[in-house]
């Protein structure tokens, strides 16, 4: 019985938790103060104690996963970078909001001014391209917001939210499709696969900079 209730308690919203904790605390006091129903009091204390403890423990139940996540599971993670033009245009909250509204969980975030060396490492796979130097200059031209999102299918789903590399090819409703028109200022970067997500998260974030937490109200089973 207790195990079934434990599973149920994971799905109780925060507001209900607070109400429940107050309610069962009051019930416990009444049970302690009563002198006429000793047998019932023992049952009440046992029941309310279990329920209250279960409600409180819901808050601290985050699973431990590697800093780069676990591809193919609900702990899959992706790296997203809001580039200097996205920051300068005030689109940070809009972009984060789109990922959160989809149901993806933000587990890492920081703002940095990338160095030339960092930009060159990040875009090392494009080093032979004629536009490489311009890309590095663009990426280091201002502040960049680095993000790590977690969720089922977040790598592929994140790419859909970001849109095609060339904004002219991006679908309406995607970030690039809605907010930019030129490939040289395309607002945002997103990992394109599990290997790049692992490399990019590990490059830009330390283990201590990733916060592991669980939704109180789950997005999926």
| Span 98-129, pLDDT tens digits | 999 999 999 999 999 999 999 999 999 999 99
| Span 50-97, pLDDT tens digits | 444 343 343 444 557 888 899 999 999 999 999 999 999 999 999 999
Per DSSP bridges, beta strands 144-150 and 77-82 are antiparallel
Please tell me the predicted confidence (pLDDT) of residue 37. Answer: 46
Please tell me the predicted confidence (pLDDT) of residue 216. Answer: 82
- State the catalytic residue, choosing from 189, 198, 199, 205: 189
145-173 mean pLDDT: 97
- Across 9-13, 25-29, 95-99, 215-219, least confident range: 9-13
Binding site listing for ATP: 83, 131, 159, 165, 176, 186
How far apart are alpha carbons 47 and 2 in whole angstroms?
A: 10
Tell me the pLDDT band of 172, cut-offs 50, 70 and 90: very high
DSSP per-residue codes, 43-55 = HHHHHHHHHHHHH
How far apart are alpha carbons 46 and 125 in whole angstroms?
A: 61
131-149 mean pLDDT: 98
SS3 96: helix
How far apart are alpha carbons 84 and 187 in whole angstroms?
A: 7
Q: Which domains does the chain have, with CATH numbers?
A: 77-209 (3.30.70.141)
Binding site listing: 83, 131, 159, 165, 176, 186
Please tell me the predicted confidence (pLDDT) of residue 121. Answer: 97
| Span 194-214, pLDDT tens digits | 999 999 999 999 999 999 888
- Indicate if 189 belongs to the active site: yes
Please tell me the predicted confidence (pLDDT) of residue 33. Answer: 52
| Span 15-62, pLDDT tens digits | 444 444 444 444 444 444 544 444 445 444 444 444 443 433 434 445
How far apart are alpha carbons 190 and 204 in whole angstroms?
A: 13
Please tell me the predicted confidence (pLDDT) of residue 31. Answer: 45
CB under 8 Å to 194, separation ≥6 — which residues? Answer: 71, 72, 76, 155
């Amino acid at each position: 019985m207790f195990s079934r209730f434990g599973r149920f308690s994971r799905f109780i919203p925060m507001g209900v938790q607070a109400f429940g904790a107050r309610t069962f605390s009051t019930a416990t006091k009444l049970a302690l103060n009563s002198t006429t129903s000793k047998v019932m009091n023992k049952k009440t204390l046992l029941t309310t104690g279990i329920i209250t403890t279960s409600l409180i423990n819901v808050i601290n139940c985050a699973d431990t996963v590697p800093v780069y996540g676990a591809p193919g599971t609900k702990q899959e993670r992706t790296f997203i970078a809001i580039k200097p033009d996205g920051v300068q245009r005030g689109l940070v909250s809009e972009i984060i909001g789109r990922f959160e509204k989809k149901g993806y969980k933000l587990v890492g975030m920081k703002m940095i001014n990338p160095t030339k060396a960092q930009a060159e490492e990040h875009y090392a796979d494009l080093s032979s391209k004629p536009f490489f130097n311009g890309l590095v200059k663009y990426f280091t031209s201002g502040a960049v917001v680095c993000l790590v999102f977690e969720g089922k299918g977040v790598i592929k789903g994140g790419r859909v939210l970001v849109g095609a590399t060339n904004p002219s090819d991006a679908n309406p409703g995607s970030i690039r499709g809605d907010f930019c028109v030129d490939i040289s200022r395309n607002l945002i970067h997103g990992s394109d696969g599990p290997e790049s997500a692992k490399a990019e998260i590990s490059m830009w974030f330390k283990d201590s900079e990733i916060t592991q937490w669980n939704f109180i109200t789950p997005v999926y089973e």
